[in-house]
Amino acid sequence: MDLPSYITGLCEGEACFTVSFSLRRKLRLGIEVRPSFSLSQHKRNLEVVKLLREYFGVGGIRFSRADQNYKFEVRSVRDLIKAVIPHFREYRLISPRKRDFDRFAKVCELVYASKHKSLTGMRRIIDLAYGMNPSGRRRYKKDKLLRLLDKVKE
C-alpha cells in the first residue's frame, strides 16, 4: 500500500478545507481569518484518524460527544503550509474539491505572508474563501465582511 495515495483517497471523500472568519474589534481590520483542515470519522475508525495524525505529524485529535466522531484538525497556518498543503500538491485530489483545496492553499499562503493585515490582502482572502464550496453554514455574508473593510482607514 502506498500511504500518501491512500491518504488522498480517504480525504477525497471526507476531508474539509475551510476558511472561517470572526469579527475581532481588537484587530486593525476587525476581521480574523482562520483556515483549517479537518477530517471526521465515527469513533470506531479512531485508528484511521490516528494514522492521519501520524502521517501529517501536525494537528490534533478531539472527540465530539454529539456525533460520536473523532476529528483530526490542523489549524496552525505554519503546519498547514509545511505539512498539509505539500501533500495535496503532490497527491492531487480528483473531485472538484481540488479547486477548493487550491483556493484554501492560496489563503494559507497569503496569511503566512501576513497579507491578511492589509486591506487588499484581506479582500483577496475573502474572495477566495467565498469562492469555496462551504462546509456548513457561513456565519457572515461576504458583503458584510467587505462592508466592514470599507470603513477601515488605509
Which C-beta is closer to its own copies: that of 45 or that of 76? 45
Which C-beta is closer to its own copies: that of 44 or that of 153? 44
Alpha-carbon gap, residue 62 to 73, rounded angstroms: 8
**Using CB under 8 A, which residues numbered 27 to 66 contact its own copies?**
41, 44-45, 47-48, 51
Residues 6+ apart with CB under 8 A from 50: 61
- Report DSSP letters for 68-121, one per residue: TEEEEEE--HHHIIIIIHHHHHHS---STHHHHHHHHHHHHHHHHTTGGGSHHH
Taking the complex as a whole, the smallest distance from the CB of residue 87 to its own copies amounts, in Å, to 12
> Using CB under 8 A, which of the segments 3-11, 59-67, 71-79, 105-113 binds its own copies?
3-11
Among 24, 78, 89, 92, binds its own copies (CB under 8 A): 92
**SS3 state at 126:** helix
Taking the complex as a whole, the smallest distance from the CB of residue 122 to its own copies amounts, in Å, to 28
